[in-house]
């Protein structure tokens, strides 16, 4: 199973993060074989870390929870909140194999559906997939967010590799599911490739 683990940092924890960075990286090294993507979330100006996002394989939620609770960042009290959700990759490409581009920025879009999301998706599925295929060159990773049983889609996650935020916003504005009001909420945050 694949899991999305999104951590939000407490305010004013940059110094604590820096002091814990080496221990955190050493911890990540123990999970390189199961980590698909891992990196920090930043403010749009790229000056302050505000959390982290990882896409990783574990047998179940309990294992994913044990992993993030053992992270030195968690133990140091850096995180204000931790979200763990089931995720399914669309592409069989991991961070270590993704061809990096010079001078680009990465953004992650995380969504949850409205209660009638599936009904809204159904008539637009073909157009939605065609749209994403046209923009394959800027999509690092994507896939549905699922309930823990993996039977029901509850949202989506996309990672983008673009020139700037305006390009990411223009792409997102044209996504058929987004335009049709499938999502109850969505976030677009600055993310960057981290230590894997």
pLDDT tens digits, 52-77: 999 999 999 999 999 999 999 999 99
Closest CA to 116 of 108, 127, 124: 124
In a domain, 173, yes or no: yes
pTM: 0.94
pLDDT of residue 44: 84
Domain-terminating residue out of 40, 65, 87: 87
**Tens digits of residue pLDDT in 149-158:** 988 999 999 9
Under 8 Å between Cβ of 120 and 139: no
pLDDT of residue 73: 98
Domain-terminating residue out of 55, 87, 119: 87
Domain-terminating residue out of 87, 113, 147: 87
In a domain, 92, yes or no: no
pLDDT of residue 153: 94
pLDDT of residue 45: 83
pLDDT of residue 47: 82
User: CA–CA separation, 55 vs 137, rounded Å?
Assistant: 20
pLDDT of residue 46: 81
Q: How many domains is the chain built from?
A: 2
**Tens digits of residue pLDDT in 161-192:** 999 999 999 999 999 999 999 999 999 999 99
**Tens digits of residue pLDDT in 79-136:** 999 999 999 999 999 999 999 999 999 999 999 999 998 899 999 999 999 999 999 9
Segments forming the whole domain that contains residue 54 = 2-87
CATH of the domain at 143: 3.30.70.1060
Residues 187 and 107 both lie in one domain: yes
């Amino acid at each position: 199973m694949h899991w999305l683990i999104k951590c939000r940092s407490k305010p004013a924890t940059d110094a604590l993060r820096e002091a814990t960075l080496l221990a955190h990286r050493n911890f990540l090294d123990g999970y390189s074989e199961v980590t698909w993507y891992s990196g920090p979330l930043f403010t749009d100006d790229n000056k302050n870390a505000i959390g982290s996002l990882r896409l990783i394989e574990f047998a179940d939620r309990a294992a994913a929870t044990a992993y993030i609770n053992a992270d030195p960042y968690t133990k140091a009290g850096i995180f204000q909140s931790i979200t763990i959700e089931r995720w399914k990759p669309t592409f069989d490409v991991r961070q270590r194999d993704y061809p990096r581009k010079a001078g680009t920025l990465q953004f992650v879009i995380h969504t949850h559906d409205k209660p009638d999301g599936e009904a809204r998706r159904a008539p637009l599925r073909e157009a939605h997939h065609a749209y994403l295929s046209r923009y394959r060159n800027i999509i690092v990773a994507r896939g549905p967010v699922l309930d823990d049983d993996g039977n029901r889609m509850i949202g989506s996650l996309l990672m983008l590799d673009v020139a700037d935020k305006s390009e990411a916003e223009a792409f997102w504005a044209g996504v058929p599911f987004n335009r049709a009001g499938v999502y109850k909420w969505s976030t677009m945050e600055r993310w960057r490739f981290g230590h894997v």
